[in-house]
Structure 1
Amino acid sequence: MYVFNADAVWFGASYISQGIFITILISCLALFAGLVIGMPLGVMRASHAKGFLRKLSDGYIEIFRNIPVLVQIVWFYYVMPILTGVNFDPITAAVIALGLNTSAFLAEIFRGGINGVPTGQHDASASLGFTHAASMRHIIMPQVVRKMLSPLVNQFIVLIKESSLVAYIGVLDIMHRGDLITTEYSAPLESYTIVAIYYFALCYLASKVTGFVEQRFSFPE
């Protein structure tokens, strides 16, 4: 019969909570990297041109969307140093892998947002003398960003959950600390329940806060 371990709960809750900052840090940095890379990729994907850049963006997105996130994390941590001679610390490797993976999904969100703007606005901006770049910057992208608030929230929550995979390369996040408590106290029920509670709290809080921001700063169509 399983014996409940109160010591694992008492010490584990405190120890595991120290990984919350690392989980949030990795998720935020990966989301930022995903936005920086994903936006130009989305613009290229929304373009009707079929040139080299479009093919490059298509290939990039297909690669990162169709390889499991865990494989990407492990690849950047163990394989990239072999190819480049540069050793990444676990957090850096995690941010790079999650950021590149996220950029592929955000690119599709940007593409959908751009294509969702009525074509008449593209034509109107051109008739007013806006170049394509100026039109995207001043007219199209502000609307796209407003429409993307909800998908961005969802992607950030996905990132928080996917960040648990970085425990595989030794990052002391929530998940890895839960593993250590399980090993130390032989208490999987207690430690992984605490881990689940922390992840639920983070994702729930993120959805509520960003939901408020969406309501506060969105405008009627």
Structure 2
Amino acid sequence: MNYQFDFHFLNGTLGPLWQGLKVTLQLALAANLMGLVLGFLLCLLTLNRWRLVRLPAQLFIEFFRCTPVLLQIVWFFYCVPMLFNVFVDPITMGVLALGLNLTAFNAEAYRAGVQAVPREHLDASVALGLGPLNRTLYVVLPQALRSALPVLMTNGIGILQQSALVAIVAVADLMYIGKSIATEAYRPLETYSLIALIYFALSLPIAQLVRLVERRQDAALER
């Protein structure tokens, strides 16, 4: 192999890369916030006793879990404006596509957490006179969130990495900027290696935190 790595050309590209990184973080953070909130609400719908409420929620989850994220992104960017005459800025559309995908996966994580809530706790909350809303907010949600936290955090890492797919629809995120730099400089190995290191540096601390949370939960169960 005679290829010589040369990273010096990247010195003048730090500004654009930083702007792309900000877009990536904006997409990931907004999609995670959306997924955390809507995921729990969707979870409650899937657990509803009424079939008319439960089935559409389950269909939503299966659609987003069983179709490629790339296809979902392309569909939102091209099909939604054509079908519904709705035009929004690319970043908002990216957040919507990624956030709804994450909502489906988080709903399943929440569902497992909700089903792990001891029946005795629910009975005690009823005996204390808590209404359905207060039971959900103060009894179910805290315990479900604690049980589902490692999975939710792992899903968050996944959506950070999948946010790179919006580059295919010309959203100027980190991946898109990196692709442009690699094309202009004819240095794809150096450019994509740097992009990979950036994603790795963003994901690794969260992955380590997930392991820490899992160890603490395992230790709590052993007591």
TM-score, length-normalised on structure 1? 0.89
- 2:164 paired residue number: 164
CA contact (8 A) 2:154 2:210 kept: no
- 1:38 paired residue number: 39
Asked if 1:207 is matched to 2:207, the reply is yes
Distance in 1 separating the partners of 2:120 and 2:47: 16
CA contact (8 A) 2:17 2:177 kept: yes
1:49-198 matches, within 5 Å, as: 49-198=49-198
> Shift in Å at residue 6 of structure 1?
3.6
C-alpha spacing 1:11/1:208, structure 2 compared with 1 (3 Å): farther
CA contact (8 A) 2:35 2:99 kept: yes
Residues 90-120 of structure 1 show CA distances to partners (whole Å, capped at 9, x for unaligned) of 2111100001101001111111100011112
CA contact (8 A) 1:8 1:181 kept: no
> Shift in Å at residue 88 of structure 1?
2.3
The 3-state SS of whatever aligns with 2:61 is: helix
* Unaligned ranges ≥5, structure 1: none
Identity of aligned residues (%): 37
Distance in 1 separating the partners of 2:203 and 2:161: 8
Distance in 2 separating the partners of 1:129 and 1:114: 20
The 3-state SS of whatever aligns with 2:3 is: coil
> Shift in Å at residue 2 of structure 1?
2.9
Distance in 2 separating the partners of 1:62 and 1:175: 28
> Shift in Å at residue 210 of structure 1?
6.8
CA contact (8 A) 2:150 2:213 kept: no
* Unaligned ranges ≥5, structure 2: none
> Shift in Å at residue 5 of structure 1?
3.5
Distance in 1 separating the partners of 2:54 and 2:60: 10
CA contact (8 A) 1:16 1:174 kept: yes
Residues 21-59 of structure 1 show CA distances to partners (whole Å, capped at 9, x for unaligned) of 111110010111112211111112234x14211111111
> Shift in Å at residue 207 of structure 1?
3.3
> Shift in Å at residue 184 of structure 1?
0.5
> Shift in Å at residue 174 of structure 1?
1.2
Greater CA drift, 207-216 or 169-178: 207-216
Distance in 1 separating the partners of 2:87 and 2:133: 38
Greater CA drift, 9-18 or 172-181: 9-18
> Shift in Å at residue 158 of structure 1?
0.6
Distance in 2 separating the partners of 1:77 and 1:174: 19
CA contact (8 A) 2:24 2:174 kept: yes
CA contact (8 A) 1:46 1:114 kept: no
CA contact (8 A) 1:113 1:144 kept: yes
**Greater relative CO (CA pairs within 8 A, separation 6+):** 1
The 3-state SS of whatever aligns with 1:18 is: helix
CA contact (8 A) 1:33 1:99 kept: yes
Greater CA drift, 124-133 or 192-201: 124-133
C-alpha spacing 1:15/1:210, structure 2 compared with 1 (3 Å): farther
> Shift in Å at residue 85 of structure 1?
1.4
Matched length: 220
- 2:16 paired residue number: 15
Greater CA drift, 176-185 or 4-13: 4-13
